[in-house]
Structure 1
Amino acid sequence: METTKLYYEDAYLREFDAAVLSCQEEQGRYLVVLDRTAFYPEGGGQPADHGVLGGVAVTDVQERDGVVCHTCAGPLAVGSTVHGAIDWQRRFDHMQLHSGEHIVSGMLCAAFHCDNVGFHMGTDVVTIDYNADIRWEQVLEVERQANRYIWEDHPCRVTFPSPAEREALPYRSKKTLTGTVRLTEFPGADLCACCGTHVSGSGQVGLVKFLSCQKLREGVRLELVCGGRAMAHLCRSWQQNRSIGQQLSVKPGDTSAAVERQGREVLSLKARCAGLEEELFRLLAEQYRDAGEVLLVRHDLAGDGTRRLCDAVSRTCGGRCAVFSGEGEQYQYAVIHPGADLREFVKHMNDALHGRGGGRSGFAQGSVAADEAAIRAFFRGV
């Protein structure tokens, strides 16, 4: 016997009473079937409702052949009447996301003559795939249109047209449908076959905000937030931007220009530091001219500085040069001995200093898990 689906009769129903028809244990969980339910099962890209049923937590809801099965944390007595309460915050969040997705998808598909070929309502964002190459600027224009439509507060209509009536309707669907089909309509924005729960009017979506537009095969993948999630995202972004503005001593609206200016200053300083570093390496190389074997342990080198210093000193010292850069027990190394075979030496060094790395033709580089004292002790013994 199919379960009576109260969520279709009233998507805003938060609590209900129902009879327990069956309860089966499966791997420490209990699968409960009721005669009727307000818990929406996972489907159509919308996650399942959570909540409480008969005093025990409901962690998943699935439907098969019209029967809705609730995954519960504890058993419920067959034949008993139980009280159910859905997690309304979770449900309404899903309703806002799903309705917002319908509105933007209807507008995008109409504007670019494309199809929605993928839809996933995640824990953070909604991802939607379209089989058309849509530019970010075009996405933002649809976002503006969708928010205008939302604020006008158009009603959401749900109908079950006959097959003959459906033939005359330009509704969206990902596949050919037969039998009873549920159509969800936001007049002037979208008409789509859908089994999900929706807000009663577009105004309750509140807000839609696209976060990204990525190339995907012949189309694009968009990331979207709606309603409470959109508000939370914008609040976090504003607070972060405000914090950046305070650190840069500018107003929140001026952070982009300030960051660009600071970026140019950083590049200038990096170039200056690189020049000073090259001069330092040259002076060190002269200091170790004809010194033979050289070991340098430094704590101030970044990037490829270890290799570049080793290269500079190896050109003047006339022997093997080893440079280690790091702190504590983590060091990067470069070893250069022009014309020499370093393979056995580096293998011995890696074994002694718990290192990884190697090379050829008189050059080797890698890392060791040893402190400065251990590094110096090893080189005193070789």
Structure 2
Amino acid sequence: MSTNTIKLYDEDSYLSDFSATVISCTAKQIDHQKPLYEVILSATAFFPEGGGQASDTGILNGIPVIDVQEKNEIIYHTLTAPLTEGEVINGSVNQTRRFDFMQQHTGEHILSGLVFKNFGYDNVGFHLGTDTVTVDFSGTFTEEDIRRIEELANDAVFHNIPVVAVYPDKVTLKSLNYRSKKELSGAIRIVTIKGVDTCACCAPHVKFTGEVGLIKVTSYQNYKGGTRLELQCGKRALTDYNKKEKNIQNISVTLSAKIYETDEAVKRLKDEKLSLEAKLTNLTIRLLNLKADSIPSGEEPYILFDYEIPDNQLRHFANLVKERRNGVVGIFIPSAKDSLIMETDEPLEYRYVMCAKAMDVRPMGAELNKSFLGRGGGSKEMVQGSITGRRTDIADFLKNFTF
């Protein structure tokens, strides 16, 4: 029977190298993959996945540790190769990842504690991954609220407050007012940042808030009646800032605008774009009217393959032509991916509209889709959709179709 694993990370969150005895090593098969090995040690510095935080990674006797889980006070390490039961091994935690997680998690405690203190909102969800940290709160915020809490959180960092983690006795625990997302039993670890937060937590933390570095809320959104915040702390916050700074510098150069005036330059550019789009729409409509006026009247099917008609004007143009013809009108334009192929009889994907004044075009549309791997539908007067085929084959089909 395995005994409880001694949690070295509880004693020293900065510990990366340690020795321990292998209690057991069990192979486990996952589908058709190579077997992995589940190892229990007498003691470990590896923090297992829990409380919204991913597990530590690292090596045991040079073998990669790819996952760590805890069940009933026993910690299970998943390895890619076996270890020998009874041997003393050397372990090493990926300290870069560990410290990054410590920065993020302590930063989250600071933020959540201040939200609870100032707004009374509970932290109802937390995820700490390798790229993002999300925190879900039970209430909503304004932009001003977010920036106020962000400033208070960074003030707590600047004051370099001690971060104290202890297992208080039952009497002391009853007297504490601490945050917890669920009912807890057994020994409860309390992490305290004086004047900022008191919270039940099993994860490793930094010793002083100053080690968290910058705390930055990078986004927020309404979520399940409350608010989901995404934040970056420490080196992650610096990396995020550097990426955004580079982007804004590039935009500044592209728009020939000062870096703090890029938003106004983008607004002007957007207004210019909307104005040009309106002019283009008007010119396009005039062009389509002229194009339609040039089409002769007649009874036979009229088929046009055209590369100048915008997709959003296809129905409008078909209606213009229909008024000049007594037969079926079929207008075909190439899809966006084929729009640069000007003249070819190779199979292309076409958007189409077919219409007629005094006949039901739905049977023709159904047969067209069936013959050219298409899809679409519509009303008695007009059908539309997309097909794939050669121009000559499509034209022959329409000319020879009988109702």
TM range (shorter): over 0.9
The reply on whether 1:316 has 2:300 as its aligned counterpart is no
Instruction: Tell me how far apart the structure 1 counterparts of residues 73 and 88 of structure 2 sit (CA, whole Å).
Output: 21
Which residue identity lines up with residue 189 of structure 2 in the other structure?
A: R
Q: Is the 8 A contact 1:289 1:318 kept in 2?
A: no
Corresponding residue for residue 370 of structure 2: 351
Corresponding residue for residue 106 of structure 2: 99
Aligned residue runs from structure 1 range 102-251, under 5 A:
102-251=109-258
Instruction: Tell me how far apart the structure 2 counterparts of residues 332 and 65 of structure 1 sit (CA, whole Å).
Output: 62
Q: Is the 8 A contact 1:136 1:213 kept in 2?
A: no
Aligned partner (choices 327, 334, 342) of residue 353 of structure 2: 334
Q: Quickly say closer, same or farther: Cα 1:90–1:334, change in 2 above 3 A.
A: same
Q: Quickly say closer, same or farther: Cα 1:314–1:134, change in 2 above 3 A.
A: same
Corresponding residue for residue 84 of structure 1: 91
Instruction: Tell me how far apart the structure 1 counterparts of residues 88 and 233 of structure 2 sit (CA, whole Å).
Output: 37
Deviations 1:65-122 (A, max 9, x none): 1111100000001111111111122211211111111000000111111211111113
Instruction: Tell me how far apart the structure 1 counterparts of residues 381 and 218 of structure 2 sit (CA, whole Å).
Output: 51
Corresponding residue for residue 307 of structure 1: 315
Q: Is the 8 A contact 2:326 2:358 kept in 1?
A: no
Q: Is the 8 A contact 1:182 1:194 kept in 2?
A: yes
* CA drift at 1:161: 1.5
Corresponding residue for residue 49 of structure 1: 56
Instruction: Tell me how far apart the structure 2 counterparts of residues 367 and 137 of structure 1 sit (CA, whole Å).
Output: 49
Structure 1 stretch 63-72 or stretch 239-248: which is displaced more? 239-248
- Matched residue SS, 2:273: helix
Q: Quickly say closer, same or farther: Cα 1:377–1:44, change in 2 above 3 A.
A: same
Q: Quickly say closer, same or farther: Cα 1:291–1:258, change in 2 above 3 A.
A: farther
Under a length normalisation based on structure 1, what TM-score does the superposition of the two structures give?
0.95
* CA drift at 1:374: 4.1
* CA drift at 1:176: 3.0
The reply on whether 1:4 has 2:11 as its aligned counterpart is no
Instruction: Tell me how far apart the structure 2 counterparts of residues 370 and 249 of structure 1 sit (CA, whole Å).
Output: 47
Instruction: Tell me how far apart the structure 2 counterparts of residues 308 and 118 of structure 1 sit (CA, whole Å).
Output: 51
The reply on whether 1:75 has 2:82 as its aligned counterpart is yes
Deviations 1:215-234 (A, max 9, x none): 22332111122222222111
* CA drift at 1:198: 0.7
Structure 1 stretch 269-278 or stretch 224-233: which is displaced more? 224-233
* CA drift at 1:29: 0.7
* CA drift at 1:353: 2.1
Deviations 1:339-366 (A, max 9, x none): 3211221122112222111112211111
* CA drift at 1:381: 4.2
Instruction: Tell me how far apart the structure 2 counterparts of residues 134 and 185 of structure 1 sit (CA, whole Å).
Output: 25
Please give the root-mean-square deviation of Cα atoms over the aligned residues, in Å.
Answer: 1.6
Corresponding residue for residue 32 of structure 2: none
Instruction: Tell me how far apart the structure 2 counterparts of residues 150 and 300 of structure 1 sit (CA, whole Å).
Output: 61
Give the unaligned 5+ runs of structure 1. none
Number of positions where the alignment pairs a residue of Structure 1 with one of Structure 2: 382
Corresponding residue for residue 264 of structure 1: 271
Corresponding residue for residue 362 of structure 1: 381
Which residue identity lines up with residue 373 of structure 2 in the other structure?
A: H
* CA drift at 1:380: 4.7
Q: Is the 8 A contact 2:374 2:386 kept in 1?
A: yes
Which residue identity lines up with residue 325 of structure 2 in the other structure?
A: C
* CA drift at 1:129: 1.2
Instruction: Tell me how far apart the structure 2 counterparts of residues 266 and 315 of structure 1 sit (CA, whole Å).
Output: 33
Corresponding residue for residue 73 of structure 2: 66
Structure 1 stretch 349-358 or stretch 59-68: which is displaced more? 349-358
Give the unaligned 5+ runs of structure 2. 30-34, 342-347
Q: Is the 8 A contact 1:155 1:200 kept in 2?
A: yes
Instruction: Tell me how far apart the structure 2 counterparts of residues 162 and 217 of structure 1 sit (CA, whole Å).
Output: 37
% same residue: 37
Q: Is the 8 A contact 1:281 1:313 kept in 2?
A: no
Q: Is the 8 A contact 1:285 1:317 kept in 2?
A: no
* CA drift at 1:376: 3.6
- Matched residue SS, 1:175: coil
- Matched residue SS, 1:225: strand
Instruction: Tell me how far apart the structure 2 counterparts of residues 303 and 85 of structure 1 sit (CA, whole Å).
Output: 60
Under a length normalisation based on structure 2, what TM-score does the superposition of the two structures give?
0.91
Which residue identity lines up with residue 321 of structure 1 in the other structure?
A: V
Q: Is the 8 A contact 1:339 1:361 kept in 2?
A: no
